[in-house]
Structure 1
Amino acid sequence: MNWITNYVRPKINSILGRREVPENLWIKCPETGEMVFHNDLEENHFVIPASGFHMKMTAEARLKHMFDEGKYTVLPSPKVPQDPLKFRDSKKYSDRLRENRTKTGIEDSIVSAHGLVGDVEIVACVHDFAFMGGSLGIAAGEAIIQAFEAAIARNCPLVMFPASGGARMQEGILSLMQLPRTTVALQMLKEAGLPYIVVLTNPTTGGVSASYAMLGDIHIAEPGAEIGFAGKRVIEQTIREKLPEGFQTSEYLLEHGMIDMVVHRHDIPGTVARLLRIFLKLDAPAPVALPAPPIEPAPAEAAE
């Protein structure tokens, strides 16, 4: 316990009438260095207004932005063994899980929900990068499988939002086993004739990109997202060559035919809804009839 920080400073601030300023009140743009007020950034769905840089989003913010009027039903988190390998590095894996659950307010790195997007019923599955880098472990794998099963049971499409550094090292081979398990669940969705759309966000790497993240019917990516298997530095050291500028960005992958489109975050819900209507052969939503403007009475002629 630091008694200066925890005791002396609060006492001085209370005497002088100072107020503590939240650390995240201002956010710095990674590209331009511009400082953006947190509330303004949140209202703009965590896109820097001037530069257009797409910041990371929590699962909750992503779901609220995706679903009509921000309304959705969260699917229950699966119950799985905790710390099956009794893993420990600088601290116990069980302690890391506890800390991340307290920090993020979610059980693991995957949050799944059910609702409407453009009046089209879907199940959405979102990685939360704030939870151990969105890594894929037993709980996350089981949550993804249950999301696919829920989509099949409801006869509706599934939309995946990967944001991950890959498999969770603290679970070893048990983490890698989630790659074929989720791929089998994905295949069950396709056999049911239901669409599967992937919205690639920053970053999508490792085993996640080597499995369900790159097996969609349509691959959308947010601008500037890092997408790949191994990191740029690791590849350069392996092949002993300098990689091209912008390598592994969504724009680079679009240019080389690896994804289908790059879409601004604000336009993703509408784009997904239009694609799903094409897949499901649904009619376009009826235009909303606007009320006719009131007719103003003609001015009375002045009496002669």
Structure 2
Amino acid sequence: MSTPALKTPRMSATELINTVLDPGSFSSWDAPVQQPRISDTYAAELLAAREKSGADESVLTGEGLIRGRRVAVIVSEFRFLAGSIGQAAVNRITDAIERATAARLPLLAGPASGGTRMQEGTLAFLGMVSITDAVRRHKEAGLPYLVYLRNPTTGGVMASWGSLGHMSVAEPGALLGFLGPRVFETMTGTPFPPNVQTSENLYRKGLIDAVVPPAELPEIIEKALRILLPVTHSGVRARPDTLDVVPGPATAWQSILISRNPRRPDLRMLLAAGAAEALPLNGTGQGENDPGLSLALARFGSQSCIVLGHQRPRHADGPAMGPASLREARRGMQLAEELKLPLLTVIDTAGAALSKEAEEGGLAGEIARSLNSLIGLRAPSVAVLLGQGTGGGALALLPADRIIAAEHAWLSPLPPEGASAIIHRSTEFAPQIAADQGVEVASLRRIGLVDHVVDERPDAAAEPREFCVRMATAIEYELALACATPAEQRLDQRRAKFRLLGH
């Protein structure tokens, strides 16, 4: 979700509030400002800033409605001393976050700031710790923290509450970064490289989730909150017909060939045709964006979840899943924990990347860390074997409370051709190897791995939308079942499932 790099005309805090919130719904939370002891010179600067901006400080806080949903907001006023954060602003921001947490309100932050206020020195700088702690406690309460980065956001603000969003989007053409370009040039004597600290570049690098103009923000926030704050339903959904499905007579090798059909429905189609709503996220949030994995907020029927899954390349020579994909996966796991939503993983991979870059990027370690996180995840979890399931790349997303499999999905430590080459020094024994290894769904169900099979009639590629609807119904049911199980019982059952496979 990105737009051309055209800089958005700078809005005041009030203008942004009026653009994003429902008309007339804003109610201020701001008490009169209590400034620290200040010099006469600084007092004059504050007076001039108030007259210039029409605001009493560099942030406005309060609550309002976005498409009828109650939301707390914190918005910077850049015209007040470049949106800089002094002690009074720190107190105002922290108070607002704590009030939003106590009221159990989602929080939208709209920073536009040069950073901490130089006139107040170290005390203002240290205020970023208090703000960060308040954000952390808001997120620990399972409440959404959404960030809209505006032009410019730099310094201590970008390095604290500007970079902690569950979802972060930005204005087109916004200057976003740690060190402002003027400071960099003054300190180094050389200009900062162009087009680095822009919202569009940060999107390409996987640091933010979208680039959108202010007018489009209400739609995105509303969609995110419909998923992140679902209406709760008691009990498990109606029993789907797919619970009675028994895998058909296809051999393991036949299923493998069916799963490799490029027209087979993938994660994109599952979200498009099966999910009631889906909102893609982007990258690790740490400067990496690997196309091998997709991360999204989604809702299947009444069940909201965090989705992370293999994104099958559109072409055979497309990039395979690399270590950055699994770092993005861990972002999804963290979102599920923080937002107290179930996690859905979707497995469909011909194997992880085999390259110098993958080895040097720590692929093996990332697989291990993913397994470690998933087997101990506090959030409910469901895994879907959608198609191919090769090697460590597949295993890395597998541990879950409940596992659904498409009828012709499979799971193997190597492609059968590779296993045949190891054992027989030839690929011609691949069909027999696949049968001997028990890679197909019938065997995976027999050993206790697969709990639920979604039939293909006779091949998902022949009826992609119908298949995705059946899979979505199964996903909704299994998410509800996992969510209905107490956490400690769920963790014990998950560990026992993998400890007792084949017994």
Q: Normalising by structure 1, what TM-score?
A: 0.70
Q: 1:201 aligns with which of 147, 150, 159?
A: 150
> Do residues 59 (structure 1) and 13 (structure 2) align?
yes
What's the offset of the Cα at 1:262? 0.7
What's the offset of the Cα at 1:276? 1.3
Following the alignment from structure 2 to structure 1, what is the Cα–Cα distance between the partners of residues 170 and 51? 30
Cross-structure match for 1:165: 114
Following the alignment from structure 1 to structure 2, what is the Cα–Cα distance between the partners of residues 163 and 117? 21
8 A Cα contact 1:109 1:136, kept in partner: yes
What's the offset of the Cα at 1:81? 3.3
Cross-structure match for 2:29: 75
What's the offset of the Cα at 1:188? 1.2
Report Cα offsets for 1:184-239 as digits up to 9, x if no partner.
11111011110000000000001101111001101100100000011235546777
Following the alignment from structure 1 to structure 2, what is the Cα–Cα distance between the partners of residues 73 and 282? 25
Report Cα offsets for 1:227-267 as digits up to 9, x if no partner.
00112355467778875541100000000111111112210
Q: 1:122 aligns with which of 66, 71, 79?
A: 71
Following the alignment from structure 2 to structure 1, what is the Cα–Cα distance between the partners of residues 73 and 163? 16
8 A Cα contact 2:6 2:173, kept in partner: no
The alignment yields a C-alpha RMSD, in angstroms, of 2.3
Following the alignment from structure 2 to structure 1, what is the Cα–Cα distance between the partners of residues 84 and 229? 32
Following the alignment from structure 1 to structure 2, what is the Cα–Cα distance between the partners of residues 282 and 130? 40
> Do residues 256 (structure 1) and 205 (structure 2) align?
yes
Following the alignment from structure 2 to structure 1, what is the Cα–Cα distance between the partners of residues 30 and 182? 39
Unaligned runs of 5+ in 2: 233-275, 277-503
Larger radius of gyration: 2
Q: 1:222 aligns with which of 171, 174, 186?
A: 171
8 A Cα contact 2:82 2:113, kept in partner: yes
Report Cα offsets for 1:246-300 as digits up to 9, x if no partner.
110000000011111111221011111111111112499xxxxxxxxxxxxxxxx
* TM alignment of 1:88-237, pairs within 5 A: 92-232=41-181, 234-235=183-184
Q: Report SS of the residue matched to 1:160.
A: strand
8 A Cα contact 1:74 1:112, kept in partner: yes
Report Cα offsets for 1:47-94 as digits up to 9, x if no partner.
xxxx95411111111111111124210112354334x2x346xxx001
Q: Report SS of the residue matched to 1:177.
A: helix
Amino acid at match of 1:168: R
Unaligned runs of 5+ in 1: 1-50, 285-304
Q: Report SS of the residue matched to 2:148.
A: strand
8 A Cα contact 1:78 1:142, kept in partner: no
Q: Normalising by structure 2, what TM-score?
A: 0.43
Report Cα offsets for 1:6-61 as digits up to 9, x if no partner.
xxxxxxxxxxxxxxxxxxxxxxxxxxxxxxxxxxxxxxxxxxxxx95411111111
Report Cα offsets for 1:82-120 as digits up to 9, x if no partner.
4x2x346xxx00111112112222210010121110122
Amino acid at match of 2:112: A
Cross-structure match for 1:272: 221
Residues 157/99 of structure 1: CA separation in 2 closer, same or farther (3 Å cut): same
Structure 1 vs Structure 2: percent identity of aligned residues?
39
Q: Report SS of the residue matched to 2:23.
A: helix
Residues 150/78 of structure 1: CA separation in 2 closer, same or farther (3 Å cut): farther
What's the offset of the Cα at 1:146? 1.1
Following the alignment from structure 1 to structure 2, what is the Cα–Cα distance between the partners of residues 142 and 110? 10
8 A Cα contact 1:120 1:277, kept in partner: no
Residues 183/116 of structure 1: CA separation in 2 closer, same or farther (3 Å cut): same
8 A Cα contact 2:20 2:215, kept in partner: no
Residues 87/191 of structure 1: CA separation in 2 closer, same or farther (3 Å cut): same
Following the alignment from structure 1 to structure 2, what is the Cα–Cα distance between the partners of residues 233 and 106? 26
Following the alignment from structure 2 to structure 1, what is the Cα–Cα distance between the partners of residues 120 and 192? 32
- Runs of 4+ with deviation above 4 angstroms: 233-244
8 A Cα contact 2:185 2:191, kept in partner: yes
Amino acid at match of 1:155: R
